[in-house]
Structure 1
Amino acid sequence: MLKLFKTDGGVLSRLNDFEDGIWVDLADPTMDEIKLIAEKYQIDTNDIIAILDDEETSRVEQESGYTFIVIDIPSEETRHGRSAYTTIPLGIFLAETAIVTVCSEASDIFSIFNRKSMRSFSTKKQMRFVYQVLYSVAVEYQRLLRYIDKTRKEIETRAINNIAEDTDLIDLHELESNLVYFTASLKSNMLVIDRLVRYERIKKYSEDKELLDDVVIEIKQAAEMTDIYINIIHGSRELIASVLNDKLNRVMKLLTSVTLIMGIPTIVSGLYGMNVDEKWMPLSHMQYGFGLICAGIAVICVLVILIMKKSKLL
């Protein structure tokens, strides 16, 4: 989808036609839209198409007539039947008269501009735009990291309350996978920022120094949060594995105890069922012999149960 935006007096408005100093947003673009933008701003078509590849790496490239920036942004997906997060490339092209953003899907990253909550936002100041996008990306990473940690706490609470299930280990594995993607992407984005600062051909504004510092702080904070949450999830996985193993051990102990107790009447009935002369079998000639044998079996079973409980085997 192709959208055109421009700021006028700090207000972001959507346009119906191309102008100078605009922001061109390409989300899941068609081939016709890609060719249109490539021809309009003299951008290599292959550079735009490359953004649609989920494996495209973060980088900064200086081409003739435009600067090509790729960063990783978080994205929601379905993995193994569960809602999960990954990262996808976002391309930012700084052309002579416009800013062009390209992504394989519509993202909430730019909602901060639409809500008019970003100060001094201007589609004409290209590097400020890039820094603001990076800031928005860092904030989005932190939001998702807090959500991931909240999910982890819910799983851990179930484990503490002894209602953990096998699926909780799978959920934790998915959360850990999300954090691995985030770690790699945040490190790549940090490298992009370092290169942007060193590029002399890109026009910068002195008043953007504070914004750049905020971007660096937020991305570093997101990276630190990711590392911390990965370590915490390792501990949570060990906790849940221990809880599940404890539940299994208790079940096995119970089954073993039941097997032992049920073995007593089985042994007695097996002995009395042997094909021998009845005169050798105790109580075989008594009127209430069968009842006495059953009562004896019950007494022995009760004694065994009491002994096992006293020994904490049951």
Structure 2
Amino acid sequence: MMRRYVTEKNLLREVTDFRPGAWVNLVNPSLEECLLVAREFQVDIADIRAALDDEESSRVDVSNDYTLILFDIPSIEYRHKREAYTTIPLGLIFAGDTLISVCAEDTPVLKSFADNMVKEFSTKKQIRFIYQIFLRTCVLYQSYLRIVDRRRKEIEEHIGGDTEDVDLIDLHELESNLVYFDTSLRANKMVLERLVRYSKIKKYPEDQELLEDVVVENQQAIEMTQIYRDIIKGTRELLSAVIDNRLNTAMKYLASITIVMAIPTIISGIYGMNVDEKWMPLANTPFGFGIICLITLGLCLIVIRILRKRKML
């Protein structure tokens, strides 16, 4: 899908033609749309379709005709019937006085611009527009990171209560999300460093402060990711220790019960041996069976008390 926008009187509106100062937004474009844009702006079609490859690495390519900026943005997907986070490439091509954005899906990063939710936004100020897209990307990363941390807290709240193995799986999924974020954010950091260094990309004094804010926000997102990864790792280890401790406690109780039940089993086994009854104690004593049962019960109670003193019951 291809849409073209232009800002007039601080309002964004959609147009149907290519014009100077426009923003061309390609969302999962077809090959025909890519060819049309490539011919119109003299751009290599491979650079246009680079953002459609999930394995494409973040980079900045500066040529005489246009500049390609490729970086990763956060995205929502479903893994194992659960909502999870990943990252996908977003390509920005600065060709003359037109900015071309290419993404495999309709992302909230660009949707906020298309819905006129960003202040001081103009399609005619392409460099500032690029920095604003980076800033919205960093903000979205931080928003998703807070959601991940909130889910981690929900799991922590019932540790020691109805903790289940599924909680370990959920923590693993959260940690996987942070791995994707950390890798992409560090790659984006390299892209920002190149944008700061490259002299071929025009830098305006009024946009320099915005670029510095983007660098700070991206670094903050990296630090948040690392902190949350460490916390989730500790939570996962704690949860695993709690489950192991419950297993050990259950095995201890089962062993104690086995010891107590072994006493009547041994006594009944002895009295069930095929020997002359005159050799069996209390065989000819009135109420002998009841006396043996009481003795067995007494021995069981003594063993139970010993086990309780040793905190095995």
TM-score of the pair, normalised by structure 2: 0.94
Offset, 1:287: 4.8
Q: Deviations over 1:154-173 (max 9, x none)?
A: 112221x4332222222222
AA of the residue aligned to 1:54: D
AA of the residue aligned to 1:102: V
Cα pair 2:97 2:126 within 8 Å, conserved:
no
Partner of 2:84: 84
1 CA distance for matches of 2:199 and 2:107? 30
Partner of 2:167: 168
Partner of 1:210: 209
2 CA distance for matches of 1:226 and 1:107? 21
1 CA distance for matches of 2:287 and 2:66? 104
2 CA distance for matches of 1:220 and 1:71? 15
Partner of 1:50: 50
Offset, 1:235: 1.4
Q: Deviations over 1:166-217 (max 9, x none)?
A: 2222222221121121111111111111211222232332211221121111
2 CA distance for matches of 1:36 and 1:284? 106
Offset, 1:274: 1.1
Q: Deviations over 1:240-294 (max 9, x none)?
A: 1221121111111111111111111111111111111122122333453333322
Partner of 1:130: 130
Cα pair 1:162 1:243 within 8 Å, conserved:
no
Partner of 1:178: 177
Q: Does 1:239 align with 2:238?
A: yes
Partner of 1:258: 257
Partner of 2:19: 19
1 CA distance for matches of 2:262 and 2:15? 84
2 CA distance for matches of 1:259 and 1:228? 47
| Range moving further from structure 2, 170-179 or 78-87 | 78-87
Offset, 1:220: 0.9
| Range moving further from structure 2, 73-82 or 187-196 | 73-82
AA of the residue aligned to 1:143: S
Cα pair 2:23 2:99 within 8 Å, conserved:
yes
1 CA distance for matches of 2:203 and 2:122? 13
| Range moving further from structure 2, 29-38 or 196-205 | 196-205
- The secondary structure found in structure 1 opposite 2:134 is helix
Structure 1, unpaired ranges of 5+:
none
Offset, 1:38: 1.6
- The secondary structure found in structure 1 opposite 2:158 is helix
1 CA distance for matches of 2:29 and 2:285? 95
Q: Deviations over 1:18-63 (max 9, x none)?
A: 3221111111122222222222222111112221111111100023
2 CA distance for matches of 1:27 and 1:275? 88
Partner of 1:95: 95
Partner of 1:190: 189
TM-score of the pair, normalised by structure 1: 0.94
Q: Which runs of 4+ in 1 moved over 6 A?
A: none
| Range moving further from structure 2, 49-58 or 33-42 | 33-42
Cα pair 1:183 1:223 within 8 Å, conserved:
yes
Identity rate, percent? 52
2 CA distance for matches of 1:75 and 1:209? 28
Offset, 1:103: 1.0
Offset, 1:223: 0.8
Structure 2, unpaired ranges of 5+:
none
Q: Does 1:30 align with 2:30?
A: yes
Partner of 2:287: 288
Cα pair 2:60 2:67 within 8 Å, conserved:
yes
2 CA distance for matches of 1:222 and 1:265? 66
CA RMSD of aligned residues (A): 1.6
Q: Deviations over 1:225-244 (max 9, x none)?
A: 11111111221122112211
2 CA distance for matches of 1:299 and 1:3? 87
